[in-house]
Structure 1
């Protein structure tokens, strides 16, 4: 608990209360420090009471970038009630990421296992070795790039058909490469396939992945062709 008290000084009252809840429920026992920093959140390495390593994604409460995320929620029947305060919007965003992850995980998509969320804190499986998180795809290229490209296109396909989700922000910055196995992360922008902007986001995901692998020498399929294989029609229809 000593390390938890030291780290907790950095957080708001809301976040501290959420951390206390996770300690009380015996989800976490210690926080060991920051392992990644994003625009809207920080990822902490934590330990469970039995010593299991966990990743805690803690969303920053007052972050103006959340205004840009409304388009990822509008039209999604799961999130009809958009919060009117910063705190409600952030907690809704955290809830959205957790529910997206649960849906993807149950569909067999390779992602860190989601464990629980509380307010603005998302607890998930830690992907890495010892105390070092797995590198991003951008940082460590797979040995077989062609196979990796095919695997990611298959992930996009299965996500669409088995989980009825579109990641919405897929790129080399949101995929981990851990011992040649790829894990998709950062699920807060994911939308269901019936959202008004679903086709646009799917096309962008395919395009981002295609550009990355093409730059690294992989012969890729045309983006429009991959889109048609997944959806059954062209982006213009």
Structure 2
């Protein structure tokens, strides 16, 4: 479901109090009991009941009686909290069109001091166990709801952009709130959707940026034609939540996989035969 700016504007301070209480209490509870929510919000019974029903109707929270009666944030509620925070900070003044949807994120146009992009991380419940297993920044055990998995994913990406920019051609990080990353807008096209006039120059530029990232201790971890953007002769490498450090035990294998994904694309579409070993050496030089 797309983010609704109207919901952000219509949010009453008591609605926000309920949402923030749920966010805080979900660190302890999978489903927050009504008594705990009453104690946290300090709202009267009638006021709390009204706010809960309103938020349920808006698809910002949900109620379930199994395994015990309780309430939990939905993605919509977490989106609203984050966007409200970014608006109050002055980072974002308007939310624009949805411009991209991935398996774990949605990307929107927006306005801040100028045009920006908002990437909203949505690590879904179906993929949560896979994320916990595959990504080193996630706790291996214990209570970690999907909202915090999404926030961890956003923090991981924001850290990479901060450390890599501007030496590596990545979006400029502007701000983050919870699971939402605000970054500079890139006027390019995804590599898989364009036809290049000089594909070898673009391939060399991609490998050059992979090498710069490697020199700073970062391996993308999920590199392919789908997360490289091109504007004439310049490239940007996007989508960094799965990065790993160059001292990771599987660093060599994952770096090689990233490089092979890119080489495979250029060989298939442009008939460029670039030996893997030569590409790896150019990156780790």
The TM-score normalised by the length of structure 2 is 0.70
- SS at 1:216 equivalent: helix
Match of 2:205 in 1: 151
Q: Which runs of 5+ in 1 are unaligned?
A: 129-133, 233-237
Larger Rg over CA atoms? 2
- Work out whether residues 108 and 117 of structure 2, in 8 Å CA contact, stay in contact via their aligned partners in 1: yes
Distance 2:271 2:8 in 1: 44
* Shift, 1:194, TM fit: 1.0
Give the match for residue 189 of structure 1. Answer: 242
Is the 1:72–1:191 Cα contact (8 Å) retained in structure 2? no
Equivalent residue, structure 2, for 1:103: 163
Matched residues in 1 for 2:162 and 2:5: separation?
27
Contact 2:207 / 2:283 at 8 angstroms: preserved in 1? no
Structure 2, unpaired ranges of 5+: 10-57, 60-74
Bigger proportion of residues as helix: 2
Separation (CA, whole Å) in 2 of partners of 1:189 and 1:208: 15
Does structure 1 residue 19 correspond to structure 2 residue 83?
yes
Q: Summarize the Cα distance change of 1:206–1:188 in structure 2 as closer, same or farther, 3 Å threshold.
A: same
Whole-Å separation in 2 of the counterparts to 1:99 and 1:15: 20
Q: 2:100 matched to 1:36? A: yes
Q: Name which structure has the greater RCO, CA cutoff 8 Å, separation 6+.
A: 1
After superposition, the Cα gap between the structure-2 partners of 1:186 and 1:30, relative to the gap in structure 1 and judged at 3 Å, is: same
TM-score by length of 1: 0.83
1:45-60 pair list within 5 angstroms: 45-48=109-112, 50=113, 52-60=114-122
CA spacing shift, 1:172–1:62, aligned 2, 3 Å:
closer
Q: CA RMSD in A?
A: 2.2
